[in-house]
Structure 1
Amino acid sequence: MNPVEIEEAVSQLALEPFDRGEFPFSFLRAFGNPETTIKRLRTGSTNQSDVGGVLQRSNIHIATCDVGEVEATLGSLRDSPKTATAKAKFILATDGDSFQAEDRTSGETIACDYADFPDHFGFFLPLAGITTVEQIRESSFDIRATGRLNKLYVELLKDNPDWAKAERRPDMNHFMARLIFCFFAEDTDIFVGEGLFTKTVEQMSARDSSDTHAVISEIFRSMDTKIADRQSAGIARYANQFPYVNGQLFSGSTEVPRFTKIARSYLNHIGNLNWKKINPDIFGSMIQAVADDEERGALGMHYTSVPNILKVLNPLFLDDLREKLDEAGDNGRKLLNLRSRMARIRVFDPACGSGNFLVISYKQMREIEAEINRRRGESDRRSDIPLTNFRGIELRDFPAEIARLALIIAEFQCDVLYRGQQEALAEFLPLNSENWITCGNALRLDWLSVCPPTGTGVKMRGDDLFETPLDQAEIDFENSGGETYLCGNPPYVGSTVQAPKGATAETKARINKEAEDRKADLKPLFSHLTNSWKSLDYVSGWFMKFAGYARHTAARCAFVATNSICQGEQVARLWPLLFDSGQKIDFAHTSFKWKNLAAKNAGVSVVIIGLSNQPVRSRILYSIDENGTDLRRDVANINPYLVANDDIIVAASTAPLSEIQPMTIGNKPVDGGHLILSVEDAEKLVNDGASEFIRSYMGAEESINGKRRYCLWLDRSNVAEARENNSIRERLIGVANFRNDSSKELTRRGAMTPFEFQQVRQNGNETVAIIPSVSSENREYLPVSLEDKGTIVSNLAFAVLDPQLWVFSTLVSRIHLVWILVVCGKLETRIRYSNTLGWNTFPLPRLTEQNKANLTRCAENILLAREAHFPATIADLYDPTDMPDDLRRAHDENDEVLERIYIGRRFRNDTERLEKLFELYTKMTVKGKAA
């Protein structure tokens, strides 16, 4: 279940009559527990409570009680020995009137009326496997509002099918934006009278909902009509009490979709929420899913955490502002200069979505400005920071509308917080009609027209965003002497995107069309610079657009990007172009998980990269160590791999640069499957007396998961004898036919020798270390296997032939994996190995015979530990959650022995490992030999 579904279930539970005996089971059901689990708890087979309640191991201990006994009951749960031994995360007590709970890990508690416990549903999200930041746990309102708005949206589309068509979706989305404003306005005194909008609709529209649309339409018309013009406009009396809003939010068509009784009921439920609690930091990113059919299934999960956003904004410019504030102290002149500087800062997000980065930037700057005003004794001063300095580009119209609305709400909330409710209300309406969010394709638009160079006056005419968001409004963009900071979280799309298995033809066609469109977006940016632009990730376009933008204005950027642009072949294809444009990395955050609210969601691995062609005092490298601690270091340079080293790019090598054995890719059959044998096929041939022609066949799947496959392995010396077997002869005919049908000349030539693999690089007459070409990124070590003679390695793996054990020790080390992760890149999120790019370039110090002996011993210990768990597969042994202790100890010892060869001690973290590796690689490539 996602958070919205959980909130709905919890809210429904609170509305039902309280049943002491049933409540614990209903509560657990609301958080996604299946009926089989509920049944076992109900019958007592898994219920371990010793206080007459319900205890779910590792989750929660719940007890209901007589009225007035809640506090005492919670104490009993806290003191219960079973609570401790069952490792319950929460305890909960209720009598149907009061409700109390405690998080036993953090010590945090809640106490409220029973009817209000749904307001705290976020407190219990870990029960559903959802772990999230404190801010979300406390901001349950946004999820509640999102869920209710989604119900209304779906209901309206169901009964207004014309509004569901592509050409009318903007009207529908615009209508939703108007509703959100009304709900917020009626709870924050922007409308005079508590719940004015909701109550007016409820009182003035018929209970059968037949005229609900007409009542809402008249209210909207009123808010677009100046007070002096209302009598002549014939505004209905009930609508005349609403203020003039302007800002183009209610201009144009006031048509409203027709309501059913259910839709009218949903509208009332939404209005009865407390919209004072709306958090524009995150609300926009949730609500945008309401209007997107594909994203609606993940409703409530579209959340970008404020701490993650601040990892971008703080080093980009906010830290500097705070530093200047500290330096100013109470010096009035310095404070005034800082305030003037902030009034000219522009923040530009060219992939703004619903405005998260812009809203956070605005609120953080308002906080700093408020402190300046406080120190200067001007706390009631109107803000000098205009919303129009926070500009964005967004492809879709609804998020673009929500972004502007979120900023308007943020401005009002900041005015209330820093100046007071009366001052905020006095200046809020009418809204100004300037537009600063552009709806369009960021890679096709001219960024200089959206956010021109400082000191340049540019006026752009057009309708306002809330009316026709594809155009710019008339704004004087002149901002002489100001600073421009670009930021954001561009789309996560790789260079190739495959349709999921089982996808319909329509879905495949859509995905292919989207891929073609993305390539068309990138072509104008890269095709004149490089021939390999088609393999670049989509996010590369934003970095290249910034490089072009920065040629004309002093600006800095910081984008969140998939870590793939700092790994593997992407580095060589993208970064020389950025460097040639004069860009350098000012700061960076190495790879970390960018999580959302989805249950058990691992998040996508991202990096943050700050670029500019401007001078900096120092370059800053951020990372997270192996204990989860945030690290910050000032460094001389940050290279494209996000390592503190020179701007070097690792190039593929045909031979090892270090003193290690060569590695080859496996054998490629190109046979249509005819030379490859299943277990049953092999057994049949063995029974036919053909065992001498059969070899074990291993690639990534076989070596990792223990899957058994075989192959026919023939050569000119035995093919005549093999052909005497009818089954083999038929298979060879199949190979010949398959190759003859190929469009490739090389493959067709192979039809003359159908008994041989198309490409033979190893013949099975040696022991072999098998390195999968693709494997999971979740393992702590590469899943390298060591196989006896007689094994044929497929082209889905690499091989070291007759490997020395110290080479095996190196292959399975942590430091080797760290190098591979950076220089080889990924296939989707999985590790993609390369012998020429990863193994041949691996920097290994020159080893003494004693070093080799020590590493050989470590390799033997690893192999013995594996053998002790026979028949466990590599996948079993290297399960990140269940790796055997003896195997882990053997690997730890191996890492220590190897790493001491590098620096005389263990490395503290992967950052240290990479810095040493790049230092050695630089020496190796400069001197042409190993260090």
Structure 2
Amino acid sequence: MPEALAALRESPATAKHKAKFILATDGKTFEAENLGDGGTVVCDYPDFHHHFGFFLPLAGITTVRQISENAFDIKATGRLNRLYMELLKDNPDWTTEARRGDLNHFMARLIFCFFAEDTDIFHNVGLFTATIEQMSARDSSNTHEVISEMFRAMNTPVRHEGKLDNRHREAAGIKSWANGFPYVNGGLFSESVEVPRFSKIARSYLLHVGGLDWTKINPDIFGSMIQAVADDEERGALGMHYTSVPNILKVLNPLFLDDLRAKLEEAGENARKLLNLRNRMARIRVFDPACGSGNFLVIAYKEMREIEAEINRRRGEPEIRSVIPLTNFRGIELRHFSCEIARLALIIAEYQCNVLYRGQQLALAEFLPLEAANWITCGNALRIDWLSVCPPTGKGVKTKAEDLFETPLNQAEIDFENEGGETYICGNPPYKGSQTQTASQKSELAQVFDAHGVSAKQIDYVGGWFLKAAEYGKTVSCGSAFVSTNSICQGRIVPILWPLIYRLGSKINFARTSFKWANLAAHNAGVTVVVVGISNLEINKKLLFSEDAAGRDSVRVVNVINAYLAPSNDVFIEGRRQALSDISHMSFGNMPVDGGGLLLSASEHSQLGLDKADDRLFVKRAFGSAEFIRGIVRYCLWIEDANLSAAKQNHLIVERIEKVKSMRLESKDKGTKSLAEKPHQFREMYSCDNHLLIVPSVSSEAREYFPVGVLNSRSTVTNLAFALYDAPLWNMALIASRLHLVWIGTVCGKLKTDYRYSNTLGWNTFPVPTLTEQNKADLTRCAEDILLAREAHFPATIADLYDPETMPDNLRAAHERNDETLERIYIGRRFKNDTERLEKLFELYTQMTSTPSVSRTPPRSASVVAQSKSSK
């Protein structure tokens, strides 16, 4: 059947008629291939209708976004996945936790064989696949035996005392047809050579995979795609799951590659300088303590080989053997299969670099047998001592020859001399916010932070890698750089994590502010991340990278980068109970604690049947973030003590009050129980005399301005928003500004990628220059203009008005005038960008917190208002 498909694929008629699919069947088995993306289907003939989704492109329905680059890797991964799933179905005993590792190890062996047979490593193109096709029965009854015999051959030497000698294979009883396979060694085929059983369908899939041109494999990204084959969680994004090379270089270039390239440029044609640079590169170690399938290590290796090749060219030594050992590219990875694939990807990368820079003949001569050195550790990076994996130069212990593809949990170090070498730590560790960590992850993080007497409860999982890198830097001079969610440099995490890192002697020496770290998954918009580089070395000039909306890069050379990734002195923003600046008091809204008794939908409000007078006495419009932003209509019972008797004349109100009372009495919380004494009221009863400003607790990251609004005294704000009661309108101009959005986005942190507001951390810390009466008048006018622009589009909601794609021109212009007015108060002109805004805000914050301020009477808070009203 595979040969029938091959014939159809190569037929001139197929090209002439621009066929999209080719199909073959013998009446028992059905096979098909999508010529567009290389996808295949193999099944029993009566079952092919179950694969109707495979043929949807014939109806013009494309289910997966096509990607021109890396097409081979996508095609190969898809076919390997089909084979993997078929093997799981045929071998249920291999699906257990105890045996899944064996199946993954088998897949790693297959990948090597497919690559080796197409790149002359086996000295016979197509040898592996052709042997399976010729020696295994069509009913697949002995396929596993044929593959096992080939594996045995590749684990049996063909030399004795340095000379070609078949005695070892004769002693092992290797069948003559398997003798054509070379000795591979390196642990890849050591230990058990047991192979899972194959059905006819699985055998067909195997031959389909072998039919691909594996010379096109791209180890840059192939590893993480193959990782998805064996990962249940990642299989949903199969064929689209990997980190792009440009994104990886955003970490590696400023960490050390740019410096190597600069030194190459500086060396010019000077043979001595070029030699010194090459010797330096031979001792550089790259260590990824969350290496996954090795993407960062592979890219680092290939980029260094390119620099080395240019050195060799300039020195007239183009064919000299590389001095950059794979064992200098260390990693830690939790999953065993990923460790195997990482090493395999590096082996493939080394071979391809040798072919590219030294020629295929030399590359082949030096490739086999594989070295037995082990340089990827399988284990938990937060529990392993990194010094045992990548110790200070000159120290080391030997590893067993068979360890390459059988990594022990506590594998330590290669035995080699690396005196005076540099170490660079890099990677993309798992993110996991404090609310999504498993119990085990919380324990791992606690172990790292407890040693420093610091609680890890609010720290993102990735914070453990930053702290361990700083700890490592206490012993080894090194530079480190990780990709992280931007939360690591925002909000409450900053004053917990970063002072600790600084105390260990590391400082930020380069950073890239927030950008989308997107893979090619069609369903994945990407997570917002930063890149942060730290070092224990004194570096005078720091690099601060940023990216505009169009994805264009810019870089600033600055003297300092603080933990918020701003070019400003070190400062850690912590929440304040009172405002730093002379601005109005902001408080939480009112918490119902009502079990649904005090809050009313529009229909429930109507059912109360209140006349206008009673409605004004007992009911208010209730606004949380969603009600304000999306225009949702909601009401609440708002009954002051003096009006309680009158309110109880309405039996529906009485029922609601009783519902609240029961809920509060049944609560296990003492504070809630005590509220049962006043079941007709919210926990807080903050109100205004004239108007209030509402500030949502969460707003979409897509909005260019933080939505803030004005409500009348017939409205109240729930605990799902913040409020400023009877505050002058110029406060709204501050909150609605780009300056304030940048500030809260930095110091408050985010909920997923949305802005998360905090009165104590975002508003009370916001540094505002002393405002003159004219300043306040100008800002008041700006706020009025924003409100008038919104009103002109009634009944559009805030969500409608602040959609960046459809924001009305007059509203955008009103905000621009507001920003112009406010920013001139700060520096006499508009800021150039958000980085400059942050720089000024941190400068002003530092000034205002470093000089003793004159004690002021705090603004009249809403709680005072509530108390004065209730006492009347």
TM-score (norm 2): 0.89
Partner amino acid, structure 2, of 1:159:
D
Do the aligned residues in 1 keep the contact of 2:186 with 2:404 (CA within 8 Å)?
no
1:569 to 489, 492, 509: 492
* 2:364 match: 425
SS at match of 2:403: coil
Stretches of structure 1 that go unaligned for 5 or more consecutive residues are 1-10, 28-113, 498-513
* 1:922 match: 846
1:902 has 2:814 as partner: no
1:716 has 2:657 as partner: no
For 1:840-882, what per-residue CA distance to the aligned partner results, in whole angstroms no more than 9, with x for missing partners? 1112222233322322222222212211211111111111222
Could you tell me how far apart the structure 2 residues matched to 1:586 and 1:13 are? 55
Could you tell me how far apart the structure 2 residues matched to 1:546 and 1:595 are? 25
* 1:147 match: 78
Cα 1:632–1:468 shift into 2, 3 Å: closer
1:263 to 202, 205, 212: 202
* 1:32 match: none
For 1:533-560, what per-residue CA distance to the aligned partner results, in whole angstroms no more than 9, with x for missing partners? 2111000100111121111111111111
1:529 has 2:452 as partner: yes
Cα 1:687–1:805 shift into 2, 3 Å: closer
2:143 to 212, 219, 226: 212
* 1:176 match: 107
Cα 1:330–1:462 shift into 2, 3 Å: closer
SS at match of 2:545: strand
* CA drift at 1:681: 1.4
For 1:296-325, what per-residue CA distance to the aligned partner results, in whole angstroms no more than 9, with x for missing partners? 011122211111111111111111111111
Aligned pairs for 1:462-611 (under 5 A) are 463-472=402-411, 475-497=414-436, 515-599=438-522, 601-611=524-534
1:806 to 730, 734, 753: 730
RMSD of aligned Cα (Å): 2.6
Could you tell me how far apart the structure 2 residues matched to 1:656 and 1:664 are? 11
Cα 1:751–1:456 shift into 2, 3 Å: same
Cα 1:384–1:608 shift into 2, 3 Å: same
1:372 has 2:311 as partner: yes
1:191 has 2:122 as partner: yes
Aligned pairs for 1:695-734 (under 5 A) are 695-734=620-659
Do the aligned residues in 2 keep the contact of 1:284 with 1:356 (CA within 8 Å)?
yes
Could you tell me how far apart the structure 1 residues matched to 2:96 and 2:805 are? 48
1:672 has 2:609 as partner: no
Q: Tell me the percent identity.
A: 63
1:351 has 2:303 as partner: no
* 1:340 match: 279
Do the aligned residues in 2 keep the contact of 1:362 with 1:390 (CA within 8 Å)?
yes
Could you tell me how far apart the structure 1 residues matched to 2:409 and 2:10 are? 44
SS at match of 1:561: strand
Could you tell me how far apart the structure 1 residues matched to 2:131 and 2:330 are? 36
2:806 to 882, 885, 904: 882
Could you tell me how far apart the structure 2 residues matched to 1:19 and 1:555 are? 56
Could you tell me how far apart the structure 1 residues matched to 2:540 and 2:358 are? 36
SS at match of 1:137: coil
* 1:841 match: 765
Could you tell me how far apart the structure 2 residues matched to 1:624 and 1:822 are? 16
Mean alpha-carbon deviation: is it higher for 14-23 or for 448-457?
14-23
Segments of 4+ in structure 1 off by > 4 A? 11-23, 114-121, 127-132, 460-463, 687-690
* CA drift at 1:928: 4.1
Partner amino acid, structure 2, of 1:494:
G
SS at match of 1:322: helix
Aligned pairs for 1:768-779 (under 5 A) are 768-779=692-703
SS at match of 1:888: helix
Could you tell me how far apart the structure 1 residues matched to 2:795 and 2:15 are? 52
Cα 1:526–1:115 shift into 2, 3 Å: closer
TM-score (norm 1): 0.84
Could you tell me how far apart the structure 2 residues matched to 1:200 and 1:461 are? 32
* CA drift at 1:899: 1.5
1:137 has 2:76 as partner: no
Could you tell me how far apart the structure 1 residues matched to 2:721 and 2:390 are? 50
Could you tell me how far apart the structure 1 residues matched to 2:353 and 2:818 are? 56
1:436 has 2:375 as partner: yes
Could you tell me how far apart the structure 2 residues matched to 1:857 and 1:845 are? 18
For 1:24-79, what per-residue CA distance to the aligned partner results, in whole angstroms no more than 9, with x for missing partners? xx89xxxxxxxxxxxxxxxxxxxxxxxxxxxxxxxxxxxxxxxxxxxxxxxxxxxx
Partner amino acid, structure 1, of 2:517:
W
* CA drift at 1:116: 7.0
* 1:86 match: none
* CA drift at 1:236: 1.1
* 2:744 match: 820
Cα 1:674–1:668 shift into 2, 3 Å: same
For 1:604-659, what per-residue CA distance to the aligned partner results, in whole angstroms no more than 9, with x for missing partners? 01111111111114111111134532111111111000001111011212222222
1:625 has 2:543 as partner: no
Cα 1:845–1:375 shift into 2, 3 Å: same
Partner amino acid, structure 1, of 2:618:
F
1:226 to 157, 166, 177: 157
* CA drift at 1:129: 10
* CA drift at 1:185: 0.4
* CA drift at 1:530: 4.3
Aligned pairs for 1:398-409 (under 5 A) are 398-409=337-348
Could you tell me how far apart the structure 1 residues matched to 2:10 and 2:660 are? 68
Do the aligned residues in 2 keep the contact of 1:459 with 1:474 (CA within 8 Å)?
yes
Do the aligned residues in 1 keep the contact of 2:769 with 2:826 (CA within 8 Å)?
yes
SS at match of 2:196: coil
Could you tell me how far apart the structure 1 residues matched to 2:847 and 2:397 are? 52
Could you tell me how far apart the structure 1 residues matched to 2:534 and 2:769 are? 34
SS at match of 2:849: helix
Could you tell me how far apart the structure 2 residues matched to 1:118 and 1:349 are? 33
1:795 has 2:719 as partner: yes
Cα 1:262–1:129 shift into 2, 3 Å: closer
For 1:908-927, what per-residue CA distance to the aligned partner results, in whole angstroms no more than 9, with x for missing partners? 21111111111111111112
* 2:778 match: 854
SS at match of 1:686: coil
* 2:665 match: 740
Do the aligned residues in 1 keep the contact of 2:626 with 2:632 (CA within 8 Å)?
yes
SS at match of 2:706: coil
* 2:395 match: 456
1:781 has 2:705 as partner: yes
For 1:207-242, what per-residue CA distance to the aligned partner results, in whole angstroms no more than 9, with x for missing partners? 111111111110011000012311121111111100
Could you tell me how far apart the structure 2 residues matched to 1:462 and 1:906 are? 65
Partner amino acid, structure 2, of 1:841:
T
For 1:666-694, what per-residue CA distance to the aligned partner results, in whole angstroms no more than 9, with x for missing partners? 01111212111111211111347852311
Do the aligned residues in 1 keep the contact of 2:625 with 2:696 (CA within 8 Å)?
yes
Could you tell me how far apart the structure 1 residues matched to 2:435 and 2:414 are? 40
1:891 has 2:815 as partner: yes
Could you tell me how far apart the structure 2 residues matched to 1:535 and 1:193 are? 58
Could you tell me how far apart the structure 2 residues matched to 1:208 and 1:750 are? 76
* CA drift at 1:801: 1.7
SS at match of 2:178: helix
Could you tell me how far apart the structure 2 residues matched to 1:663 and 1:22 are? 68
2:254 to 315, 326, 329: 315
Partner amino acid, structure 2, of 1:707:
I
SS at match of 1:535: coil
1:158 to 89, 98, 103: 89
Partner amino acid, structure 2, of 1:210:
S
